[in-house]
Amino acid sequence: MDKQQTQDQINALKKVLNQYNYEYHVLDQPSVPDAEYDQRMQELLKLEEEHPDLVTADSPSQRVGGPPLDAFQKVQHNIPMLSLGNAFNETDLRDFARRASQGIDGEISFVCELKIDGLAISLTYENGEFIRGATRGDGVTGEDITSNLKTIHSIPLTIEETETIEVRGEAFMPEKSFHALNKAKAANEEEPFANPRNAAAGSLRQLDPKIAAKRNLDMFSYGVGEWNAAEITSHSERLNKLKALGFKVNPEWRKCATIDEVIEFVDYWTNERPNLNYEIDGIVVKVDSLDQQDELGFTARSPRWAIAYKFPAEEAITKLTNIELSIGRTGVVTPTAVLDAVKIAGSTVQRASLHNEDLIREQDIRIGDTVVIKKAGDIIPKVVRVVENKRTGDEKEFFMPKNCPACGSELVRLEEEVALRCINPNCTAQLKEGLIHFVSRNAMNIDGIGEKVIIQLFQEELIHTMADLYRLDREELLKLDRMGEKSVANLLQAIEQSKQNSLEKLIFGLGIRFIGAKAAKTVAVHFETMEKLQQATYEALVEIDEIGEKMADSMVKYFSEQKVIDLLKELSELGVNMTYTGPKQSEGETDSIFTGKTVVLTGKMESFTRNEAKALIESLGGSVTGSVSKNTDILVAGEDAGSKYDKATELGITIWDEQQLKDMTED
């Protein structure tokens, strides 16, 4: 057989295997016995083994898992993967519908979809080929898990679509796969997974794709990020188009003309969810019209045109055997209930937050009580009430200590606060919690250093402050348990890499009271350097949009402390970046043609990548979105602009070519 004949045979096998795979995993209608599929697959594997140069990325053979990875690479989402706002009852759903109706003209219809309890993922296709798959991450930056996602048979490796398209969906583990996995773990005397969601997330974060391939994961597609498709005007049409392209779309979605129909759908699946062979934790409700979605827009955290209804929390009864105390990074002392293990909402619960002493007194919670617990939003366990008729008289009343259990300092209750707080700046528990926050994803994002590693480093007295992380010695690390040459090298590389983070990461990582990630970004953009921020007055801070009085007061007090001044000096001397390096507002932004304008980019450009053009426009006061609507001010069209160009023309929107963009930005 010559080369061309071999290629033709491989292509024929790939085509028939992809068809069998689609019928089995997407349509759930296999047309041939498993033995037939296996025989054809063996034929393909044999030919590819003999001719490795003919192996392609879209081959069904690639679903068995490639070689292990050293680490996951970071992926920037061009359009953020935002989370959804929550609704917990009928009133919340009607409020959502009312807000949506007030924000747009015309009648509204909705689409309801089952909220799959899995892991949000993004799939990118170029010229019809699956090139990258990523986790949601923090919504802006995820992790490249392409090799693992290729092992999911319901994800097509090729599609009939030449436009670049980013498909979004939920990877999950079916109940059958979950039970089989835990049975195998039990046979090997390994800790079982608590629920299918944890199992799916753990499987997709395996560095060895062959492990993920054995876990039999699945995926439902529910939307898109980037995609030029002018002929599609509604979310319901988009779901049908995704299905036509070969993606697995959950069949239980429904278009609803009124909010009453939405509530009827919610009520039905609240009762029927146990009959599914996968887990759901709610219903997602979306405005159907894409134009209306564009009109409604987004808040900083979520779209205004969608909401997630969360099923009522499950409750369980168990015994409260003890109350333990933990010290947070700001010194707050939090009591936690220790419980007899109980299964609730798919996972085993042994601890629940009691929040503060006032709540314990208000509910008269005692050690030894039988209590009712539930998971708020199916996530956070909390004690709901005491079952008083179960009391025997042996229960013990609990009293908060007068001194910090970690450092022995006297606990205080600050004005207008219910929580007790340790105000010793050298409290070991606070320092440890502060370091865990400092290395976390939204802060300095140091891969390889989690809570366990911080505790280990702390116990070995290798770190006491944030600056100590940048002084860690290779030889000292190698002496620690579970620290080999490779893990130490990766750890030190991640620490070194974190020195280049933009200023907002450091500000958030410092753990300043009331200063979250968004406020950290705001002040970083405004002041640009740590030195200027340290010198900022209360008056200068409160003048900034989104910075309130408590935030300003907290920052002024924080940066006036000598130990903070010394810490920042140390970090700077150790090479940690103290400057904002993200997109900057130009000094003359009031004169910029982009100020306050909404811009859409489409087509291919020679002088810019998409991200470079986006950053440039944002630095001049504009905002870049992914879809054309009546709110769009400028469309910048490169080669092969496609449907966005047509829609912009239809709406009478200003259209520039690449040269006009260059001219305007150079001016």
Cβ atoms 268, 255 nearer than 8 A: no
Domain presence at residue 77 = no
Residues 155 and 290 in one domain: yes
Residues 165 and 235 in one domain: yes
Alpha-carbon distance 194 to 386, whole Å? 26
Residues 554 and 610 in one domain: no
CB-side exposure of 293: number of CA atoms within 13 Å? 21
| Token pair in block for residue 441 | 């994803």
CATH of residue 272's domain is 3.30.470.30
CB contact set of 100 (below 8 Å; sequence gap of 6+): 108, 287, 292, 296, 304, 305
Alpha-carbon distance 656 to 637, whole Å? 6
The burial class, CB within 10 Å (0-12 / 13-18 / 19+), for 281 is buried
Instruction: Residue 361: name the closest of 327, 326, 332, 323 by CA.
Output: 323
Give residue 379's pLDDT: 56
Q: How many CB atoms lie within 10 A of CB 29?
A: 8
CATH of residue 360's domain is 2.40.50.140
| Token pair in block for residue 629 | 């609507």
CATH of residue 525's domain is 1.10.150.20
Give residue 590's pLDDT: 44
Residue ending a domain, choose from 573, 601, 619: 573
Residues 146 and 176 in one domain: yes
Token pair 């609730």 is at which residue?
A: 344
Domains held by the chain: number: 5
Instruction: Residue 8: name the closest of 39, 51, 37 by CA.
Output: 51
Which residues are bridge partners to 337 per DSSP?
323, 352
Alpha-carbon distance 495 to 470, whole Å? 7
Alpha-carbon distance 165 to 417, whole Å? 50
Domain presence at residue 417 = no
Domain presence at residue 362 = yes
Domain presence at residue 419 = no
CATH of residue 39's domain is 1.10.287.610
384 in helix, strand or coil?
strand
Residue ending a domain, choose from 273, 290, 310: 310
Structure letter (DSSP) for residue 170 = E
| Token pair in block for residue 579 | 């400057």
How big is the CA angle at 83 (ends 81 and 84), to the nearest 5 degrees? 130
Cβ atoms 456, 448 nearer than 8 A: no
Give residue 588's pLDDT: 39
Domain presence at residue 74 = no
Alpha-carbon distance 554 to 549, whole Å? 8
Residues 488 and 367 in one domain: no
Q: Tell me which residue range forms the domain holding 135.
A: 85-310
Token pair 């278009």 is at which residue?
A: 255
Give residue 416's pLDDT: 67
Domain presence at residue 634 = yes
Please identify which of the residues 115, 150, 375, 521 carries the catalytic annotation. Answer: 115
Strands (E), 359-501: 366-367, 370-376, 380-386, 396-397, 411-412, 421-422
Determine the straight-line distance between the first and last CA of the chain, rounded to whole angstroms.
Answer: 63
Residue ending a domain, choose from 573, 604, 633: 573
Alpha-carbon distance 56 to 12, whole Å? 14
Q: SS3 string of 101-112?
A: HHHCCCCCCEEE
pTM of the model: 0.56
Residues 180 and 260 in one domain: yes
How big is the CA angle at 474 (ends 470 and 477), to the nearest 5 degrees? 95
Alpha-carbon distance 642 to 354, whole Å? 56
Domain presence at residue 12 = yes
The burial class, CB within 10 Å (0-12 / 13-18 / 19+), for 483 is middle
CATH of residue 624's domain is 3.40.50.10190
Instruction: Residue 293: name the closest of 106, 168, 119, 88 by CA.
Output: 106
Is residue 479 flagged as an active site residue? no
Residues 503 and 465 in one domain: yes
Alpha-carbon distance 493 to 574, whole Å? 15
Residues 110 and 184 in one domain: yes
Residues 144 and 264 in one domain: yes
Domain presence at residue 273 = yes
Residues 552 and 598 in one domain: no
Alpha-carbon distance 249 to 246, whole Å? 9
Cβ atoms 387, 409 nearer than 8 A: no
Q: How many CB atoms lie within 10 A of CB 52?
A: 7
Residues 568 and 605 in one domain: no
Alpha-carbon distance 499 to 135, whole Å? 24
Alpha-carbon distance 316 to 189, whole Å? 28
Q: How many residues does the chain have?
A: 667
- Run means of pLDDT, 10 residues per run, the chain, 667 residues: 81 84 74 78 83 80 66 85 88 94 88 94 93 88 91 92 91 91 80 81 86 91 83 92 94 96 95 89 94 86 90 87 91 92 81 87 94 71 90 94 92 79 84 91 86 90 93 92 88 94 94 86 92 95 86 92 92 96 57 74 76 77 77 82 76 81 69
Per-residue CA distances from 38 to 34, 35, 42, 148, 496 (Å):
6, 5, 6, 21, 48
Per-residue CA distances from 560 to 57, 556, 565, 571, 582 (Å):
57, 6, 7, 17, 26
Token pair 């398209």 is at which residue?
A: 165
How big is the CA angle at 179 (ends 173 and 182), to the nearest 5 degrees? 100
Helix (H) or strand (E) holding 12: helix 3-25
374-409: b (≥16 Cβ within 10 Å) or e:
bbeebeebebeebeeeeeeeebeebebeeebebbee
Residues 106 and 158 in one domain: yes
